[in-house]
Amino acid sequence: MIETTHLLDVDDLTAEDLETVLDRAAAIKAGEDDTELYRQTLAMVFEKPSTRTRTSFETAMTRLGGHAIFLGPDDIHLGSGEPVKDTARALAGYSDAIMARLFDHADAEELAAYSDVPVINGLTDDAHPCQTLADLLTIRERFGGFDDVTVAWVGDGNNVAQSFVLGAALADLDLVVATPPEYGIDDDVLERAADLGPTPTLVDDPADAVDGADVVYTDVWVSMGEEDEREEKLAAFEGYQVNDDLLAGSDALVMHCLPAHRGEEITDEVVESDRSIVWQQAENRLHAQAGLLVELLA
């Protein structure tokens, strides 16, 4: 079993925990692990929309013999009068774990502080650790491990990027990050990554990141909740699109956590190309989270 109680970000895991979760995920995916979470319930709190996170967690709980309850923004009192700490204690009284997709990362920390069952971060403005678990599972499947694999992150230094920086450090994966200077990875995340393993090489020019990369990874430029910054961000990210020109001369695979804004951070041609592994990555959310749930709850 893994050491942590909650997964608020990737650095709640040790390197050994990470390997344990990925091994468990791989075994479940291969049909070689029939551990059950019989009659266990996952409360799923969503302040933002979701296709993959909601469906993969719910499906994982069903396949494991348990149950998941979807609690959308109009379903519960969170955010409209009831403090997070009260929601935490009420939900913890009914369920075996809480998964939450929230705006403010501090709210996820408060949920965990007041919950005596595991809290899993299903995305906050700062972090998306479950995505990183699926990303690392996907890279491991494609390359057989993390040695000699170089990933280029191209685009926004956002929640997905920040958790991936921590995951790359923990997995000892080489990472080059190309962002506009004003949208880089937070210093705090770089410091936390330095405590775990190698920190990413930071560059401004996407071409410098893609040169020599085995995988090119991007995500939307305008994340959920940033709609007011749209014009400003689109201008800042000019030249950062993952397209055939950027990838010319490279045989890198392409990852995207999805949803993709085709025509902005990535082109339709690249998403639909043979180098795209986005569907494997999306499916692996299910397996990675099943592995995590078993490790936290079984």
Binders in 149-178 for ligand NVA, by CB under 6 A: 158-160
Tokens of 159: 């929640």
* Secondary structure (3-state) at 274: coil
Q: Is 98 in the site for ligand NVA (CB under 6 A)?
A: no
Q: Is 288 in the site for ligand NVA (CB under 6 A)?
A: no
Is 128 noted as a catalytic residue in this protein?
Answer: yes
Whose CA is closest to 56, among 123, 104, 108, 156? Answer: 123
Q: Is 134 in the site for ligand NVA (CB under 6 A)?
A: no
CB of 160 within 8 A of CB of 166? no
Quote the least distance from Cβ 282 to ligand NVA, whole Å: 10
Instruction: CB nearer to ligand NVA: give 70 or 143.
Output: 70
Tokens of 287: 């397996």
**Identified catalytic residue from 241, 285, 287, 289:** 285
Helices (H), the chain: 15-29, 52-63, 84-94, 105-114, 129-143, 159-171, 187-194, 206-210, 230-236, 244-247, 268-271, 278-297
Quote the least distance from Cβ 264 to ligand NVA, whole Å: 12
Instruction: CB nearer to ligand CP: give 53 or 158.
Output: 53
219 annotated to bind ligand: yes
Quote the least distance from Cβ 196 to ligand CP, whole Å: 23
Binders in 199-238 for ligand NVA, by CB under 6 A: 219-220, 223-224
Task: State the pairing for strand pair 150-154/174-178.
Answer: parallel
Instruction: CB nearer to ligand NVA: give 20 or 281.
Output: 281
Among 257, 266, 286, 293, binds ligand NVA (CB under 6 A): 257
Task: Give the count of beta carbons closer than 10 Å to the beta carbon of residue 111.
Answer: 26
User: φ, ψ for residue 108 (rounded to 5)?
Assistant: -65, -40
* Secondary structure (3-state) at 172: coil
Q: Is 95 in the site for ligand NVA (CB under 6 A)?
A: no
Which residues in this chain contact ligand NVA in the complex, by CB under 6 A? 123, 158-160, 219-220, 223-224, 257
The catalytic residue positions are: 101, 128, 131, 219, 257, 285
